[in-house]
Chain A
Amino acid sequence: MNLKSIYQEVILDHNRKPRNYGTLDNANHHAVGHNPLCGDRIDLALHMEGELIDRIAFHGESCAICKASASMMTANVKGKSRTEAETLIKEFREMVIGNLDLSRPHHLGRLAVFAGVRDLPTRVKCAILPWHTLQAALNSVASISTETADDPIQAATSNG
């Protein structure tokens, strides 16, 4: 497989051994993200200490891009404040739809490995689903779907 592939070792590794995978006791924020087009489903639980995300876990069924995105997201936002997490959500979203100039300062670090998704319009929703689920959990919205009008990402993909 070629070097331009989104399936870089770091993504494959997080898919194989997802971090923070499982359920959380005493979660006080929880949301389920669903992409009905491909069946991706991410169940995300947070324990927040005030404005701080001190514990986070996810589980669900999804493709490798979605699972790796969820795994790396949880590793990145754990121990961060709500504001810091929301900055990451915004930057990640801008990156995968091709609106973020990665040569300028940003906070994404290794998450930049997902930048290649912008060339795969049908896969943008896979990468972004965990992040929208996180936003929903932070806002105490119980579930989101990539296929409803209020979803902030309506990428140029559709299906029957």
Chain B
Amino acid sequence: MKIVDALLDMNILATSELAARYRADFPILNLKVSDKPLVYLDNAASSQMPQAVIDRLVRYQTSQHANIHRAVHYLSEVATQEYETARRTLQHFINAREDREIIFTSGTTDAINLVMHGYGRKFIKSGDEIILTNLEHHSNIVPWQMLAEEKGAIIRVVPINDAGELLVDEYEKLFNPRTRFVAITHVSNALGTINPIKNMIAFAHKHGVPVLIDGAQAAAHIKIDVQELDCDFYAFSGHKLCGPTGIGLLYGKAKLLEAMQPFKGGGDMIASVTFEKTTYNTIPYKFEAGTPPIAAAIGFGAAIDYLSGIGLDAIAAYEHELLNYATEQIAAIPGVHIIGNTPTKVAVLSFTIDGIHPHDVGTLLNQEGIAVRTGHHCAQPIMQRFKIPATSRASFSFYNTKAEIDTLIAAIHSVQKVFS
């Protein structure tokens, strides 16, 4: 263990040293935008990639690439081994019981669609009910609506309060003998709310109902233990955890995955094929038809190794410090309103400014080199709930600094000046 890690563990170094230590690992953070140093505060949309992961992709592509699970030659064996190592890295990262419970997908959206097709289309029937929440991203709404339309099933929605918290009592009231599935986000992408999923999962299980957790916004910020949560499915994307785009994972309990029908047909997902009958491969391969994004999967593994090297608890503590710092300052600006005020949230700040549309805010902040997301964040039901068209969203990562938050605050003041 390096001395600095030991000091961090002993809380001798302030957690604010975190960004100072790791920021240099991210070459893109040296960019200038609009002639100003880039202040990247759009981490909830996609995080940046450290040199270690970039190097891993280069090493794979320059010395390890071939197709996997196919040939007997050297490169195919190396590539297969590295791909399966990445699977085990992810297994350990979320504490899954077995590596075959980890399915590589193209991302969270793909993972949710896999469950919709593989589980939903097989087991959900006309008149059955699916519970979603008001905090879902469109990717955890639309697939279920498609299923409901196809099967004649019914969508029930858990409401939220003004702080952006789920009303758990209302959730419990939604259960009835026709409830067949629950799909909930772990963390709201638009507001940052961390949902009490452990209790919600336990409640669903009392009614024999399986639960899918959309972990896209959680996995980079909260230590995930799927066995402790006892969720049936958990999904997230590599690019929000410092990894490449085009790769994500679906965790599923082995017995559920085995009972499910395949999502996509093709090579690698079969045991045998004749024109009369095809026998499917075992999990996880049953759900990994075709040549997967091998480099991206290996890069995903490298990103998890990188984050694990820092430690999710240290990351969470530092990001919380950033969130408190930013919240305090933004809340103090007259005419600025934070949307989503639960104390239980990740480092996401959604806000509106009186009299100024978020898109104007975003364009003006960009002129100061600041990247934030503006719009409805693919979560229009949340915007409807708060009766706003859109928000500006600053989302922080462990490589952000308090100085960057100061830059944001100063820029918000100058946006207000432009419009005064």
A residues at B contact (CB < 8 Å): 1-2, 5-7, 12, 15-16, 37-40, 61-65, 120, 122-123, 126, 159-160
Q: Which residues of the other chain, A, contact B419 by a CB distance below 8 angstroms?
A: 12, 15-16, 64
**Chain A CB within 8 A of B267 CB:** no
Given contacts A12-B418, A38-B375, A64-B419, contact A123 B359 (CB under 8 A): yes
Contact A6 B359 (CB under 8 A): no
Interface string of B376-416 (1 = CB under 8 A from A): 11100001000001100000000000000000000000100
Contact A5 B367 (CB under 8 A): yes
Nearest to A37 among chain B residues (CB) is B375
In the docked arrangement, what's the CA distance between A109 and B364, Å? Answer: 25
Q: Chain A interface mostly helix, strand, loop or mixed?
A: loop
Q: Chain B interface mostly helix, strand, loop or mixed?
A: mixed
**Chain A CB within 8 A of B70 CB:** no
Nearest to A126 among chain B residues (CB) is B359
**Chain A CB within 8 A of B139 CB:** yes
Given contacts A7-B418, A160-B138, contact A38 B390 (CB under 8 A): yes
In the docked arrangement, what's the CA distance between A47 and B76, Å? Answer: 72
Nearest to A63 among chain B residues (CB) is B357
Interface string of B141-170 (1 = CB under 8 A from A): 000000000000000000000000000000
Lowest 4 A-B CB distances belong to which pairs? A39-B389, A160-B378, A63-B357, A63-B359
In the docked arrangement, what's the CA distance between A154 and B323, Å? Answer: 37
Nearest to A4 among chain B residues (CB) is B367
In the docked arrangement, what's the CA distance between A15 and B367, Å? Answer: 20
In the docked arrangement, what's the CA distance between A62 and B358, Å? Answer: 10
**Chain A CB within 8 A of B360 CB:** yes
Nearest to A66 among chain B residues (CB) is B357
Distance to closest chain B CB from A141 (angstroms): 23
Q: How large is the interface on B (under 10, 10 to 19, 20 to 34, 35 or more residues)?
A: 20 to 34
Contact A1 B357 (CB under 8 A): no
In the docked arrangement, what's the CA distance between A123 and B366, Å? Answer: 13
Other CB < 8 Å A-B pairs besides A37-B376, A123-B359, 12 of them? A1-B364, A1-B367, A1-B414, A7-B418, A12-B418, A38-B358, A38-B376, A39-B389, A39-B390, A61-B389, A63-B357, A160-B138
A39, A62, A123: the one within 8 Å of B376 (CB): A39
Contact A7 B375 (CB under 8 A): no
Distance to closest chain B CB from A81 (angstroms): 33
Q: Which residues of the other chain, B, contact A37 by a CB distance below 8 angstroms?
A: 375-376
Q: Which residues of the other chain, A, contact B357 by a CB distance below 8 angstroms?
A: 38, 40, 62-64
Given contacts A12-B419, A38-B390, contact A63 B360 (CB under 8 A): yes
Contact B378 A159 (CB under 8 A): yes
Given contacts A39-B389, A64-B360, contact A159 B414 (CB under 8 A): no
**Chain A CB within 8 A of B356 CB:** yes
Q: Which residues of the other chain, B, contact A160 by a CB distance below 8 angstroms?
A: 137-139, 377-378
In the docked arrangement, what's the CA distance between A160 and B45, Å? Answer: 11
Nearest to A16 among chain B residues (CB) is B419
Contact B359 A38 (CB under 8 A): yes
Distance to closest chain A CB from B125 (angstroms): 30
**Chain A CB within 8 A of B363 CB:** yes
Q: Which residues of the other chain, B, contact A6 by a CB distance below 8 angstroms?
A: 363
Distance to closest chain A CB from B28 (angstroms): 20
Distance to closest chain A CB from B197 (angstroms): 23
Q: Which residues of the other chain, A, contact B137 by a CB distance below 8 angstroms?
A: 160
Distance to closest chain A CB from B362 (angstroms): 8
Q: Which residues of the other chain, B, contact A120 by a CB distance below 8 angstroms?
A: 363
In the docked arrangement, what's the CA distance between A27 and B275, Å? Answer: 67
In the docked arrangement, what's the CA distance between A39 and B378, Å? Answer: 13
Q: Which residues of the other chain, B, contact A40 by a CB distance below 8 angstroms?
A: 357, 389
Distance to closest chain B CB from A119 (angstroms): 11
